[in-house]
Amino acid sequence: MKWMLYVSALMILCFATGCSDSDSSVEPTTSTEVAKPQASREPPQIQRIAYREIERWPVPSGGFGRAIVIDDSLATEADLRSLGDQIREEFRNDHNSFVFVYDDERAARMRGRYNLSIEDGNFYNRHTVGTYTKNGTNGLHEWTITPQGIEGPMIQVNY
């Protein structure tokens, strides 16, 4: 239950704050510099993790929230890291993107319910294996991996 409160507070904070996305770190080149070849615009090949979208909702400031389910055999650190890269690539054009990842469909369908019994809350916590957050307004962009559920160890990936 404390995780649900954390996620709710985080989403409210994300929508309530904002900062500039401008980047003034580009340095001008001089005539004596040799132009470097540009990096390929092709995205790197990433391992594709199969998932089912259970729920999608619009985010008022642009983009979508989603609840997705993966096979429970894929709730490993390596596969969840790959899934984070995949989500990042798939939803790169969304201004905002919030993806809640579960390894059980019943848990995914509990998302957003705040009147869970203790038993259901424990079930929900055990099967929540990742949370992807991209806020185009304030620049927050992270992937939290919880292979053992949200009561277990958390691995934070910042993009």
What b/e string do you get for 104-123 counting C-beta neighbours within 10 Å, with b at 16 or more? beebbebbeeeeeeeeebeb
Percent pLDDT > 70 in the chain is 71
- In this structure, is residue 61 part of a structural domain? yes
- In this structure, is residue 133 part of a structural domain? yes
What would the pLDDT profile of 69-107 be if each residue is shown by its tens digit? 999 999 999 999 999 999 999 999 999 999 999 999 999
- In this structure, is residue 4 part of a structural domain? no
SS3 96: strand
- In this structure, is residue 35 part of a structural domain? no
- In this structure, is residue 124 part of a structural domain? yes
- In this structure, is residue 29 part of a structural domain? no
How many domains does the chain contain in total? 1
- In this structure, is residue 10 part of a structural domain? no
Range(s) of the domain holding residue 59: 50-159
Helix (H) or strand (E) holding 129: strand 128-135
CATH of the domain at 99: 3.10.310
- In this structure, is residue 38 part of a structural domain? no
CA 27/CA 122 separation, integer angstroms: 52
Q: Of the ranges 1-5, 38-42, 129-133, which one carries the lowest mean pLDDT score?
A: 1-5
SS3 130: strand
H-helix segments, the chain: 2-16, 77-90, 105-109, 118-127
Confirm if 77 and 117 have CB atoms less than 8 A apart: no
Residue 56 is which amino acid?
R
Confidence of residue 44 (pLDDT cuts 50, 70, 90): low
